[in-house]
Every structure is written in C-alpha cells, then in structure tokens.
Chains A and B, each alone.
Chain A
Amino acid sequence: MTNLTIATFLAFIQAAAPAAAREQQAGQVLTGGGWLFMSMAWVFILVLVYFTFSKVLLAGRKK
C-alpha cells in the first residue's frame, strides 16, 4: 500500500511539477489578501490566548 501511495504521489508530482517547479515557487508570493487573512487570524488567536491566560494566571495568583 505504501509503495502504491509513493508511486501515485511521484507520478502526480512529476506531472504537476516538472523541472520548472523551483521557478514557480519563486513566483508564488503571499498576496495582499493572504497577508490580511493570515494577520487577522493570528491577531485574533493571540488576543484570545492573552485574554484567557491572563485571567487564568491572575486567578491562580489570587488563590
């Protein structure tokens, strides 16, 4: 099963990404939308982590 998966994967890669793959990667960059979504998701999560953990740690100190 593993060999079959590898063979399928390699065939896919060779079809989808021949020698020009390295050139393509240089052309693929984070767009403005990509930066926006990434930043918003990261900020939302970091604020949530800060908000919850500051309260958890504060409650721990009080006790």
Chain B
Amino acid sequence: MSEHPLEWLGAYMDGELRGLRLRWVENHLDECAACKTELEHLRQLSAMMRTAEPVSEFTATDRFVANLTLNLPRRDAPPRTRSAQTLAWWLAPLALVGLWFFVQTLIILSSAVSLATDSGLLENGTAWLSNGPQQSEWYATTMDLFGGQMNAGTRSTVAALNLATLLGDNVLTQLLWQAGIALLFWVWMAALWLRTSRPPGIPAPTRS
C-alpha cells in the first residue's frame, strides 16, 4: 500500500485537490480503511463545528442596524479624480503604443526621404530635409589631418567606414528608441497588472 496521504485529507474533504493528487488520494481511499476512517473523523469534526450554535444570543439584526446607522461616520464624497486616475492607468500604455507607431513612421519616412534624395528623385527641393550629418567626427578630423596624403583606395575605404559609422549610429538610435518604448510599455503593464490583481479597499488590520 502506498504512503498514507494524511496531510492531504483535509484538502480533499474541502474539495481543494485537483489532477494527479486528487486521483492518488481517491485511489488510496478505495483501498485504505484507516484513511477512510480518518477522513470520516475530519468530516465529523467539521460537521460538529458547523452545527454548533453560538452559545450566547446576538443582538437582533434590526437593533444592530439601527445602532450601526447612528454610529456611521460621515464619508467624504468619492474623489472625482479616481476615475480619471484609473483612465490614466489604462491610457498610458496606449499612449506608449502610439509613440512607438510615431517613431516607427518617422524612421520609415526619414529613410524614404533620404533614399529619394540620395538617388536624386527629389532634386534639391528637399535639401532642408537632409538626414543629419554626412560626416562623422572622426572622419572629418582624419580627412583634415591626413586627407592630402591618402591615395584613392585609402580614401574610399575611409569613406566607406564613415558611411558605416553613420548607418550604425542611426540604427543604434532607432533601436534605443524602440527598446526604451518597449521597456516602458512592459513595465507599465506589469505595474497595471499588480495594481488590478490586488483586491482594493481591504482595510489592513491596525497595529496596536
């Protein structure tokens, strides 16, 4: 016979067991008379507690309510800001999603304009939309100092490195924006979940 599930009998009686544990206890009870008797004793104890009437009489409900109504303190009107606060809690993640869309759109548009400008589609009319600096600082310094001594091959290699730096900076900036917004969104959602999963309005016991 398997181990006696004595510590689980109370939970079984209370209907709190599920799945494998429940089947294990049920199977054990089918074949163990001692545990069955133990369960019966637990049920007997529970029934005794529930059927035991209070020894003394309580104040009649009507009288209790009348006394209580007299003693109810004044309650301030519920603050109107509460609903606004709740709404703000829900609107904040939506605003973050909106911000993410805005940043994405800005990046796509900026790339499209930049590509169109580079390929000459927009001619000079969009020069003011130029997509940031075309030279990184190290490139400008290098060209100032050693530009005259470089041959064509070195010059094109350095120019390619300059482009890669600019592209890397752009991608990094975009990634940082998106990661920042995503992080804010999930932190906010976690805070919202914690806030709503805790039952509100339960006054904690006072510490004496």
Q: Do A and B bind each other?
A: no
Contacts from A to B (Cβ < 8 Å): none
